[in-house]
Amino acid sequence: MTGENDTSPASETRAFEADVARLLHMMVHSVYSKKDVFLRELISNAADSCEKLRYRALTDSDLLGSDTDLKVTVEADKANGTLTIADNGVGMSRDELVENLGTIARSGTRAFLEATAASGENSGLIGQFGVGFYSAFMVAGEVTVASRAVGSDEAWTWRSDGTGSFTVEPAGTEAPARGTRVTLVLTDGAKEFAETATIERTIKHYSAHVPVPVFVKEAGDAADKEVVDGTALWVKPKSEISAEEYKEFYHFVSGNWDEPAFTIHYRAEGRQEYTVLLFMPEQQPFDLFDPDRRGRVRLYVRRVFITDDADVLPSWLRFVRGVIDSQDLPLNLSREMLQTNPLLASIRKAVTNRVLSDLEKSATNDAEAYQRFWEAFGAVLKEGIYEDPERRDALFKLTRFHTTTDPEGWRSLSDYVAAMKEKQTAIYYAIGDNASTLAEAPHLEGFRARGIEVLLLTDPVDSFWVQAAVGFEGKPLQSVTQGKADLDAIPLSDADETSADDAAKPGDVATLTALFKQALGDRVSEVRTSERLATSPACLVAPDMGPDRQFERLMARQRGGGAGRLPPVLELNPGHPLVRSLSERASRGGEAPRLEEAAFMLLASAEILDGEAPSDPAAFNRRLLGMMEQAFSVPGGEASEATAPDVADQG
């Protein structure tokens, strides 16, 4: 590749990275009707580059030279059918042009591609994602980017028609003195964007609160017109800002297109002064769980943009978008020093608390909106329960759960505690992949029979926070599949519905459990009776001291194997007719081999209900067929021939 210092800078044509080529293809063939969003994207980029330069000039004032008014200029050329977006910001070197405009850096764009690949649909998605620079190809048949990096004496031009490749070459007269000029040759369907009236309207609609002034002019005219004054929206008093203005600003800071679900805007005064304008998105962004997720809260110091990746808020609030503008932080603070700055740490603490208390308020004032918010971001907030022990109680107040009482709806922990049964000591939970299959798990039967509510936890993060959480309002959390369920103290809610009352005498079951344990050996750590079950004969639970079984499974999956798992406890329902007759036979004696078969079958059926394969599928199959053979044998007939295993083996 030609280096920056090459004495004879040459023109070079390069292929786009595969993802970019796909994205461009979509843009060029887009049927998306709101093509005007391209202008917002290009103005955002131009404004970003001005803000970056303003920041760098803090420590190096020479960078600005005599051109101190940072601004964006949009120039329409009706005669030639072109539109130019120019800025006097940081600009790009040759390498930066190639890197930034030939590859995909931002995680949001990659998530967009993944989402369109998954849904096969892109026109709606274009609106949901800001797809950045490449959206220019929705309206342009050719895009030229002429740029001069600040302080550089060379300027370069990047050009592409949006098909497979782009060209970079030394810039000619189109080169700006500093910054970037993006020129679009508009397609026939998009000529309206060569008219200043359309452009003004579009800018006012999408970019009215970009914190850098934006001017519009007609090509050839000396006069330009200020369309956006570049004053910061967040410094205006709340009463003077309309919902529409908040929304448009939210779009600018988030790159999203949904409505903000909640807006938090206030000014802190006292030991520190700062302004906060934060938004909770309405929709879950596609890259919420992407570790590279970019574009967090934007930090300003006295209206100068400093950075948007200073982790101003904890990672479990990574969906929050907006601005924090400090009066007190030093302007010349390096990004690295920001991470350890005590002033910023105290802003972080105070703003985090404020976000939590505002969320709590909206949970009370607008339960429906809060529920929608929780559905989108609850899984992320729950990370805070183990990452931030200090805020555990505040977070618990915000959590909502599907429970056996209301599997479709959302219940708070306070709702749960208020509905606890007399003598119920713990908050019970079940962990699984989805609420409806969880609700069917045999482990829940005994709880249901007693009218005890169980939290149904289905987010991957649930396995983690329940380990860390000590409890809520003095009530410990306990898994329904972990340890003994001490349910005997709590009466059944409808005694005649179940047969637990006339359970086999404990002595009888003891013979059976002992026999089962002997038969199953190390496959189980214990066999015992249980109050947990009402209608199923058996289930598996974790040993008293062992981790929850779902958590163990999750960890085993991450390790890529089940080795090291503790053998489970097999629990039997002493009230179940099958268990009763088995234990009668056990007490009578003389049937050990058949009872051993039954032990294996009950273990396998409990494994299957847990979503696992029986530990020995071949043996399981043999026993199952054997039992069916017996069950279906015709008295005096030749049933054994009909199921001769050799026949099947030949298949």
Positions that interact with ligand ADP (CB under 6 A): 41, 45-46, 49, 87, 89-90, 92, 100-101, 106, 132-133, 180
List the single partner that 180 binds among ligand ADP, Mg ion, none, CB under 5 to 8 Å by kind: ligand ADP
Quick check: 372 and 282 in contact, CB under 8 A? yes
CB of 130 to Mg ion, least distance (A): 6
- Provide φ and ψ at 122, rounded to 5°: -130, -20
Question: Given the complex with Mg ion, which of 71 and 532 has the nearer CB atom?
Answer: 71
Question: Given the complex with ligand ADP, which of 212 and 280 has the nearer CB atom?
Answer: 212
Residue 575 binds to Mg ion (criterion: CB under 5 A): no
In 374-504, DSSP assigns E strands to 402-403, 427-431, 454-457, 477-479
Question: Given the complex with Mg ion, which of 297 and 444 has the nearer CB atom?
Answer: 297
CA angle 509, 510, 515 (to 5 degrees): 100
Please, how many CA atoms are within 13 Å of residue 595, restricted to the half-sphere of its CB?
A: 24
Quick check: 397 and 386 in contact, CB under 8 A? no
CB of 108 to ligand ADP, least distance (A): 7
Question: Given the complex with Mg ion, which of 45 and 183 has the nearer CB atom?
Answer: 45
CB of 132 to ligand ADP, least distance (A): 2
String of DSSP letters for 146-187 = EEE-TT-S--EEEEE-SSSEEEEEE--TT--SSEEEEEEEE-
- According to CB under 5 A, which one of 30, 45, 49, 399 is a site residue for Mg ion? 45
Q: Residue 375: enclosing H or E segment and its boundaries?
A: helix 367-381
Q: 520: Cβ–Cβ under 8 A, 6 or more apart, which residues?
A: 527, 570, 599, 600, 603
Question: Given the complex with ligand ADP, which of 49 and 529 has the nearer CB atom?
Answer: 49
CB of 144 to ligand ADP, least distance (A): 13
Question: Given the complex with Mg ion, which of 36 and 508 has the nearer CB atom?
Answer: 36
Options 6-14, 27-35, 38-46, 342-350: segment touching Mg ion (CB under 5 A):
38-46
CB of 209 to Mg ion, least distance (A): 16
Strands of the sheet with 72-77, listed across from one edge: 12-15, 165-170, 156-160, 140-148, 179-186, 82-87, 72-77, 214-218, 225-228
CB of 161 to ligand ADP, least distance (A): 18
CB of 40 to ligand ADP, least distance (A): 10
Question: Given the complex with ligand ADP, which of 30 and 405 has the nearer CB atom?
Answer: 30
Question: Given the complex with ligand ADP, which of 93 and 404 has the nearer CB atom?
Answer: 93
List the single partner that 100 binds among ligand ADP, Mg ion, none, CB under 5 to 8 Å by kind: ligand ADP
- According to CB under 5 A, which one of 91, 108, 132, 546 is a site residue for Mg ion? 132
List the single partner that 46 binds among Mg ion, ligand ADP, none, CB under 5 to 8 Å by kind: ligand ADP
Q: From CA 185, how far away is CA 248, in angstroms rounded?
A: 27
List the single partner that 446 binds among ligand ADP, Mg ion, none, CB under 5 to 8 Å by kind: none
For 38, 87, 244, the CA distances from 182, given in Å and listed in that order, are: 12, 9, 29
Q: Which residue is nearest to ligand ADP (CB)?
A: 132
Q: From CA 512, how far away is CA 500, in angstroms rounded?
A: 17
Q: From CA 198, how far away is CA 495, in angstroms rounded?
A: 74
Give the CA dihedral 516, 521, 526, 531, nearest 10 degrees: -30
CB of 468 to ligand ADP, least distance (A): 35
List the single partner that 89 binds among ligand ADP, Mg ion, none, CB under 5 to 8 Å by kind: ligand ADP
Closest CA to 63 of 39, 90, 42: 90
Question: Given the complex with ligand ADP, which of 167 and 371 has the nearer CB atom?
Answer: 167
- Provide φ and ψ at 587, rounded to 5°: -65, -35
Options 5-13, 129-137, 329-337, 407-415: segment touching Mg ion (CB under 5 A):
129-137
| Total site size for Mg ion, rule CB under 5 A | 3
Closest CA to 548 of 400, 383, 428, 410: 428
Quick check: 458 and 438 in contact, CB under 8 A? yes
Site residues for Mg ion per CB under 5 A? 44-45, 132
